[in-house]
Amino acid sequence: MEESSGKISMRCPRLGGDVHLTYCLKESEGRPCLRTLQCWQGITPVLEFLMKHLPEAEKNRLLDPMPRDRMSVILDAAERGKG
């Protein structure tokens, strides 16, 4: 973890480089990355922040232990790109 100019950053296991928490909170089409809780828990009170500011559906998405598999995500992105 690295802190510079008031922004906290850490190595992202998905991207392989340093990212700021603000990126993680908007990574997935303006929605928090599914790994946000795993990555940031214990470093900053991210769970409390998310539970306070997210709609119920987003809370459920982040807390769901079974995220979508990679192929489903790719196929959905392809469908969105068609239209």
Tracing tokens 């008031």 back to the chain, one arrives at 6
Residue 25 region by backbone torsions, left for phi larger than 0, else alpha for psi between -120 and 50, else beta: alpha
Distance of CA 15 to the CA centre of its chain: 12
Q: What is the pLDDT of residues 11-65, one digit of tens each?
A: 999 899 999 999 998 888 888 888 888 899 888 888 888 889 889 988 888 887 6
Q: Is the pLDDT of residue 7 over 80?
A: no
- Report if pTM > 0.85: no
